Chain A
Amino acid sequence: MSSVNGAVPTTIIVAGLALAGYALVMTARDRRMDVGLLAALGVLEILLLVQVGIVVARLAGGEHPAGLATLIGYLIAMPLVPVAAAFWGLLERSRWGSAVIVVAGLVAAVLMVRLHQIWPVIRV
């Protein structure tokens, strides 16, 4: 459990930064969101949902952080990030759609760090 606990957020950070880098290259090369970028967002979404599941399992086990309300807010907002980015990418059929995905990748990575700050048992 503890190894999985640390592995998933770390994977999300790496995946988020990689996605941001990829999307940044797309933006720089004036490419709009393509199937590859959409698939990468899908992978990030699955990872985030796994992380939500891990945290919910811990909460169900009876443990609580001091800032429970904030944590629940994060659990709700986290899986929405790639979904929102995908919609933005579909809506804005230009390089700026890809630029929004840069933001989403960075946000996913930052969210993992924040999650650890809210509840230190969630290791990164």
Chain B
Amino acid sequence: MTSPEPTASQPGSTRTGPGRVLIAIYALFALAASARAGVQIATKFGNAPVAYLLSAFAGVVYILATVTLAVGSPTARRIAVVSCSVELIGVLAVGTWSLADPATFPDATVWSGYGSGYGFVPLVLPVFGLLWLRRQRTLSVGPGAVPGAALGSVPADRDIR
């Protein structure tokens, strides 16, 4: 594996190449978190209101990240960066909170224990999301946007503002 993405098309796009994998995993978590929160809030909201509301919030953040990564316009990317950042802060904050104060979380959220119930994917995903967004930003905006980015072939039709 000498070249990172030899067959990838459209440099700078957030939805092709590795982005496709990210979007697939984000879509999965968007579905899982929001569906789970929907069922919990509808059937047993009183049991663990904080946990269920946090799950619902996580679901919304995942949906936002999925859609904005798939759309990939400059505005969508900005929203995606915010979504992934909120997600990272959320998983760290809720993870710590759930360990420090287990009484508030009689039922787990996606972000409980730093996402341990989901193989820590919720912790790793926003990191990859942010890295991917940054990398594609340097590819699409071209040299100058990020110091040290030396890229010659930037297609003129890519997302350049």
Does chain A bind chain B? yes
Task: Report the Cα distance A60→B21, complex, angstroms.
Answer: 37
Evaluate contact between B5 and A103: CB separation under 8 angstroms: no
Q: Is the interface of A mostly helix, strand, loop or mixed?
A: helix
How big is the A interface, by class? 20 to 34
Evaluate contact between B18 and A96: CB separation under 8 angstroms: yes
Listed in ascending order, the chain A residues whose CB lies under 8 Å from chain B are 28, 30, 32, 67, 69-70, 73, 77, 84-85, 88, 91-97, 99-100, 103-104, 107, 110
4 more A-B residue pairs beyond the given contacts A30-B7, A69-B42, A110-B119, with a C-beta to C-beta distance below 8 A: A92-B17, A94-B9, A99-B21, A103-B28
Task: Report the Cα distance A30→B28, complex, angstroms.
Answer: 24
How big is the B interface, by class? 20 to 34
Within 8 A of A (CB), among B41-100: 42-43
Within 8 A of A (CB), among B19-39: 19-21, 24-25, 28, 31, 35-36, 39
Q: Is the interface of B mostly helix, strand, loop or mixed?
A: helix
Name 16 interchain pairs, CB-CB below 8 A, sorted by A: A28-B1, A30-B1, A30-B6, A77-B35, A84-B24, A94-B9, A94-B16, A94-B17, A95-B5, A95-B7, A96-B17, A100-B21, A100-B24, A103-B24, A103-B25, A110-B119
Listed in ascending order, the chain B residues whose CB lies under 8 Å from chain A are 1, 5-9, 16-21, 24-25, 28, 31, 35-36, 39, 42-43, 119
